[in-house]
Amino acid sequence: MSTPSAVGILAGGGPLPGKVAEAATAAGRPVFILGFEGFAEPDVIGPWPHEFVRLGAAGRMLSLLRQHNCSDLVLIGPIRRPSLRNLRPDAEGARILARLGRALFAGDDGLLGALVRILGEEGFHIRGAHEFLTQDVAQPGVLGCVQPDAQAQADIQRGITVVQALGRLDIGQGCVVQNGVVLTVEAMEGTDRMLARAGECRQPGEGGVLVKMLKPGQEKRADMPTIGPVTVQNAHAAGLRGIAFEAAHTLLTDRQRCIEEADRLGLFLLAFHPVEGAGISTQSA
């Protein structure tokens, strides 16, 4: 009986690379992890065969993936996009940069979509983390004990409109709205730093709401929105009263801990489906 091909995990920060590795192993697949230096956490990827690599060392990456018989690839975990000056590509990296072309200067989704295409051309099958972490994909409804009131739901709808507009321009996946006022929008800094700014911009009255969504037309296999316990804690520190995120298109890094933290801190967690012209739905699709 032949050995199944391996799942290669290109790992950024956070716990999700380890969770994907656990799920793939449980499904009977060998795993090999490429941890990006400065982003992947040694304790997270340590239990599996792994190597740390520079972002610009594409030749070494491809060589290692082929040495370990990787057919499927998963890109998971946040990284910060380096400047071209700091990337220091090797020869293969320079060739890939040339193939990326104008996508290098696009938003994250434009770049990641082009990268997925190129990895496919190199013979790999790109899989989304959600394909392995089916239990961690948010299902519609309120998670926990706290319910959003009418003002919070109005802020969520406002946030949906804002994030959809941002997403069409390939800028970000989230924003914070308080009583109809947009406090902050997410760009390349990421959710946690956006939340810190939201705390600085907070207005008197009831706290705001964080809204996270997939960008319209986004390549879901490479950058699916995520919510974790730290997101909940940072939202509370910023004075928010809830988090709303798109059902079926958001990963919860630790569902139970997210709910426990939200209940403890008095925040609502709402997974919704945006409904064109009719607000939001929390019914199963």
pLDDT, one tens digit per residue, over 14-23 is 999 999 999 9
Contacts (Cβ under 8 Å, ≥6 apart) of 95:
58
SS3 149: coil
Range(s) of the chain covered by CATH 3.40.50.20: 6-132
pLDDT of residue 223: 78
Helix, strand, coil percentages, rounded to 5, for the chain: 40, 20, 40
Q: Where are the beta strands (DSSP E) in 42-88?
A: 50-53, 70-76
56 and 90 in contact (C-beta within 8 Å)?
Answer: yes
> What are the residue ranges of CATH 3.40.140.80 in the chain?
137-281
What Cα–Cα distance (Å) separates residue 257 from each residue in 45, 112, 168, 223? 21, 30, 32, 22
Burial of 256 (0-12, 13-18, 19+ CB in 10 A): exposed
CA 128, 132, 136, 138: dihedral to nearest 10 degrees?
A: 50
Specify the CATH number of the domain 137-281: 3.40.140.80
Q: Specify the pLDDT at position 263.
A: 98
| Per-residue tokens: 139 | 């299902």
What's the pLDDT at 95?
77
Q: Where are the beta strands (DSSP E) in 37-123?
A: 50-53, 70-76
Q: Of the CATH numbers 3.90.230.10, 3.90.470.10, 3.40.50.20, 3.40.50.720, which one belongs to the domain with range 6-132? A: 3.40.50.20
One digit per residue, pLDDT tens: the chain, 285 residues? 567 899 999 998 899 999 999 999 999 999 999 998 888 999 999 999 999 988 888 888 889 999 999 999 999 988 776 666 676 777 877 777 777 666 555 555 555 666 777 788 888 999 999 999 999 999 999 999 999 999 999 999 999 999 999 988 888 899 999 999 999 999 888 899 999 999 999 999 999 999 999 988 777 787 789 999 999 999 999 999 999 999 999 999 999 999 999 999 999 999 999 865 445 666 554
Distance CA 251, CA 201 (A): 27
